[in-house]
Structure 1
Amino acid sequence: MAFRVAINGYGRIGQSVLRAIYECGYRDQLQVVAINELSDIETVTYLTRYDTTHGRFPLPVAHNGRDLLIDGDAIRVLNQAEAGSMPWQEMDVDLVLECSGSFSDRLTAQKHLDSGARRLLFSQPAEADVDATIIYGFNQQLLAADQTIVAAGSCSTNCIVPILNLLHRELGIISGVTTTIHSAMNDQPVIDSYNQTDLRLTRSAMQSIIPVNTGLNRGIDRLLPELAGRFESLHVRVPTINVSLLDISLNVSESTSAAQVNEILRIAAEGPLRGLLGYTEEAHASIDFNRDARSGIVDGTQTRVSGGKMIKLMCWFDNEWGFANRMLDVAQGWLNIK
């Protein structure tokens, strides 16, 4: 019997999550019974059927004025602005997939539980008082049946944390700097426009490389406390619509070589992290990883070591599809814990 799931917020991640449920083998265990999105049902249906990044939905998509209809499934489309007004008890919702990006605090999340949902999973980094932040392939063993509010981290933490964990065990990380080279997002305008929080985000996403703020180093601190205070992080947005790249610089205590670093990561990608971490030595461009469901793919052709102890890595990741699949891995694993 499938668990009953609601998606709150139907933007890029919400749409990717729904699509991945139908395309990537989650449908037997996760049944989407509701989508809460402030837009009208015709637009929700259209954006499900057609997607510039991921192509046409592979199954029939329609609506009946109240429900989104996918391959015989009826998914209620709601337009609720307040978390406390959700009909989750009436709909017997086991899990809310919180994909709106509009809040990250436990207090607001609790309103979904007060409305009848049994659990909530954030699609973004949440405040420290949630029950757990889970990076699948790193710490999913921390999931427990009595947890009610959990976060799935971010696309970048899912990419980098397993890599840092591996290299710290083998080589001892002293310090590091990361630069996330990220595709444009929907908080950026196509042409220059106003933004209330960041002057850089007033500029056209299609015309410039734009530095923005990031909390990736704080995410590393929280998930890998043994490395707390050792990382700084930068983030730039570039004029592509999907697939991003992490540029990682590490100072390590053990002398190493590019070949040794690549071997550590290749063995993990072919073994314990198979399907989550990738490794390649082909001549790739970012588009090659569109719709790649792995958390990250190390580009071994770009690994460098300077002076034996300074490592430079590049790791590709589909910031939509890869993260949506990891979020569903967490959801499925969590719901199956008795």
Structure 2
Amino acid sequence: MLKPKRLAINGYGRIGRCFLRALLESPVAHNLQVVAINEPANLESMAYLTRYDSTHGRFPGLVEAVDGQLLIDNRAIRVSHARTPEEVRWGDIDLIVECSGAYGRRSELSRFLDAGCPRLLLSHPGASADDVDATIIAGINQDSLNGNERLVSAASCTTNAIVPLLDLLDREVGIEQALLSTLHSVMNDQPLIDGYHHDDLRRTRSAMQSIIPVSTGLARGVERLLPQLAGRVQAKAIRVPTTNVSAIDLTLSTQRPVSAHSINALLANAARGPLKQFVAYSEAAHASIDFNHDPHSAIVDGSQTRTAGTHLVNLFVWFDNEWGFANRMLEVADHWSHHWPTNPT
């Protein structure tokens, strides 16, 4: 019998808490165990926000803060409140799940390795492809992991949502050009009321009163995973005043002729087959709230598929930008862990 791999979470915000909760609700909990969390906030606040979540509801177990530790169903997780990697004892950890978003370049990420942890999984893309050893999308390229990597990125929620679909569509109908518009729920780099929160002047405006265009690296992220589409993908992002669940409006020009029916049939078949774990398909009359706490990377809304002529198609794709992405991170961590040296009991 093998011991569970020992994980630490650095940064216990929205994704950090979702990752822990996804793990505890997952069948891979026997293989991965969170034993440490580093978060500058105080322990009482950490316990409270684990217990009560305005987006995903009450935690389905017992959460307590006792003697400097977070107790989840009586299992102790040690907690530190450091603001730098060097301040934390990482020596008994197999993997840090880096969810603070504060580190992106290899020189910054290597500080965790230098402080004693052998591996790091990022909840965001590296600053460039060279800053990580691999960028992994579950369902696309997780089999490329061999266990020798030390810095791995799970990309972003939007990249996880769109790359499996673009990969499928390029193989089946050929993509000449792609335009993506992400309609993304508000994030914590936006203020509730106008304030000095960001160098991007649009992000100084109240998140809950406006639809706000923001910059995005989605096109670069797609090209990093699907290099055959380099130069053929453009993207923009718009923040909308909802707290969770986002969408992508995708327009494609195709090499082969298509119809709304043929595209929907292709996507529905994939959602029932090879992409079942990652992509869902529906033609029901949905609103975004219907996909809160949905674990899929993407849900294709077939009722919104449109074509103009035989080579231009428009798709609408929903995704829970918190819960879906947390589940993909968990799957990457689990898959990667099977290539690490084993720890016998």
Instruction: Report matched runs for 1:87-106 at 5 Å.
Output: 87-89=89-91, 92-106=92-106
1:115 alignment partner in structure 2: 115
Question: What's the TM-score once normalised by structure 1's chain length?
Answer: 0.98
Shift of 1:27: 1.8
How far apart in 1 are the matches of 2:338 and 2:26?
A: 18
Deviations 1:100-142 (A, max 9, x none): 0111111221111122212100000113121110000011111
Instruction: Write the distance in 2 (CA, Å) between the matches of 1:8 and 1:331.
Output: 15
Post-superposition Cα deviations, 1:195-251, rounded to whole Å, max 9, x if no partner, equal: 341110111111110000000000011111000011110100111100000100011
Give the match's secondary structure for 1:315.
strand
> CA shift at 1:65, angstroms?
3.3
Deviations 1:291-328 (A, max 9, x none): 00000000000111111101100010000000000000
What is the match of residue 86 of structure 2?
84
Runs of 4+ displaced beyond 2 Å? none
> What SS does structure 1 have at the residue aligned with 2:147?
coil
Tell me if structure 1 keeps the 8 A contact 2:123–2:155: yes
1:150 to 119, 136, 152: 152
1:247-298 C-alpha deviation (Å, 9 max, x unpaired): 0001111111011111111111100111210011111110000000000000
The amino acid that maps onto 1:227 is: L
Aligned to 1:264: 266
The question of 1:252 aligning with 2:239 is answered no
Q: TM-score, normalised by structure 2?
A: 0.96
> Paired residue for 2:173, among 155, 171, 174?
171
CA shift at 1:163, angstroms?
Answer: 0.2
- 1:47 paired residue number: 49
Contact 1:83–1:108 under 8 Å retained in 2: no
Instruction: Give secondary structure in 2 for the equivalent of 1:219.
Output: helix
Unmatched 5+ residue regions in structure 1? none
- Is the 8 Å Cα contact of residues 20 and 26 (structure 1) preserved in structure 2? no
Question: Match of 2:17?
Answer: 15
Shift of 1:24: 2.4
Residue in 1 aligned with 2:238?
236
SS state of the match for residue 27, structure 2?
Answer: coil
Inter-partner Cα distance in structure 2 for 1:62 and 1:84: 27
Task: State the one-letter code of the partner of 1:154.
Answer: S
Contact 1:295–1:317 under 8 Å retained in 2: yes
Per the alignment, residue 209 of structure 1 pairs with: 211
RMSD: 0.9
> Contact 2:189 / 2:198 at 8 angstroms: preserved in 1?
no
Matching residue of 2:7 = 5
Q: Which runs of 5+ in 2 are unaligned?
A: 341-345
**Which residue pairs with 1:184 in the alignment?**
186
**Secondary structure of residue in 2 paired with 1:87:** coil
- Matches of 1:216 and 1:143 in 2, distance apart? 23
Shift of 1:330: 0.1
SS in 2 for 1:26: helix
Matched residue, 2:61: 59
State the percentage of identical aligned residues. 54
**Cross-structure match for 2:125:** 125
